[in-house]
Structure 1
Amino acid sequence: MPALASRQNAVVALRFGQLAAMGTVAALILIAGVWASWGTAQHVMLTKGRERGTMTVARCADDRCTGPYRPLSDGSTARDRVVLDSEVAVDKGRTYTVAVKPGSDEVVRTGTGGLLYAWAPLGGALLLASMVVAGGLRLPRLAWAFGGAGLTLLTAAFITL
């Protein structure tokens, strides 16, 4: 009888270890997704006190687009050249609403498209975490929820940009 109890205790301990390890991995993936997204999302979401305006794309090269900046908010100053990541799907000659990152000449797109693009890394993290939750934690409903949320976020970002 003691051998059976010892074996059951070992199985319980191993299962707990697996759940703890996979739960930690899933949590770290999600934290990394939020961390990667927040660098851009904070400028899009928290616009109070930030310089906001429009940028007309004049030139794109080396994953960066440049153009003049015209202010829309109080305290914002016009600039001859600001920089926007060209990965945001911009067209030369078009004008976009942007927010200036403090202390730099870099801008980020605002509005729905900019917001969804800023949170795209979280969408990828949700998709990746769904695999860990499904396989490592064996929680298929939660995995489907994570995967569906990630896929929805990435699809919405793709469509709006």
Structure 2
Amino acid sequence: MPSAVSSSQGAAAVLRFGRLAAMGTVAALIVVAGVWGSWGTAQYVMLTKGREQGTMTVARCSDDTCSGPYVPSTAGSAARKRVVIGNSVAVRRGEVLAVAVKPQSDEVVRTGPAGMLYAWLPLAGALLLASVVVAGGLRMTRTAWVLAGTGFAMLTATFFALQ
């Protein structure tokens, strides 16, 4: 017959495993969501082979988008009078940006180091959020510091690259 001590130890082990499994799943989902949110833009910045690339001169900006003419730099790309890019704090009127054109559209995304960092910004935020879950829920403070440091470094690098 099991004693009360071994029974409570077994229950504590099951609860500990349940906490680790739940918090591990939450942390993994946060990071996967960050990758998913970043990949929509990052694929055009990272996988440039066969894509239209060139430069855009910012002519006009509204609340959420900026537009201007596009000058191609790759073979098979056609010049356009107007392409659209998302308006961020780093886009200024008259600025010339290296861009890649999204297929079957007049929408462009920044390329180069600044575009790469900007594309992965949702992942940086997810790493910061996941670090809190890893530290508090999984009690893995060193891993949490690595996640937080990576996320913070990405955010800082993006800030300075877009200046």
Check whether the contact 1:88–1:117 (CA below 8 A) recurs between aligned residues.
no
Given residue 67 of structure 1, which amino acid in structure 2 is its aligned partner?
A: G
Name structure 2 gaps, 5 residues minimum: none
Deviations 1:50-100 (A, max 9, x none): 000000000000210000001000100111100001116111011111000
Alpha-carbon spacing, 1:88–1:35, altered in 2? closer, same or farther (3 Å)? farther
- State the 4+ residue runs in structure 1 displaced beyond 3 angstroms: none
Question: Match of 1:106, as an amino acid?
Answer: E
Alignment of 1:52-63 (within 5 A): 52-63=53-64
CA distance in 1, matches of 2:147, 2:12: 28
Aligned residue for 2:88, secondary structure, equals: helix
Q: Which residue of 2 aligns with 1:93?
A: 94
| Inter-partner Cα distance in structure 1 for 2:65 and 2:95 | 15
1:146 — aligned with what?
147
Q: Per the alignment, in what secondary structure is the counterpart of residue 76 of structure 2?
A: coil
Deviates more, 1:83-92 or 1:126-135: 83-92
**Residue of structure 2 equivalent to 1:71:** 72
Q: Cα RMSD over matched residues?
A: 0.8
How many residue pairs are counted as aligned between the two chains? 161
Contact 1:123 1:150 in 2 (8 A): yes
For 1:81-120, list aligned pairs within 5 A: 81-87=82-88, 89-120=90-121
Question: 1:51: which partner in 2?
Answer: 52
CA contact (8 A) 1:33 1:124 kept: yes
**Secondary structure at the counterpart of residue 105 of structure 1:** coil
TM-score for the superposition, normalised by structure 1: 0.98
Unaligned runs of 5+ in 1: none
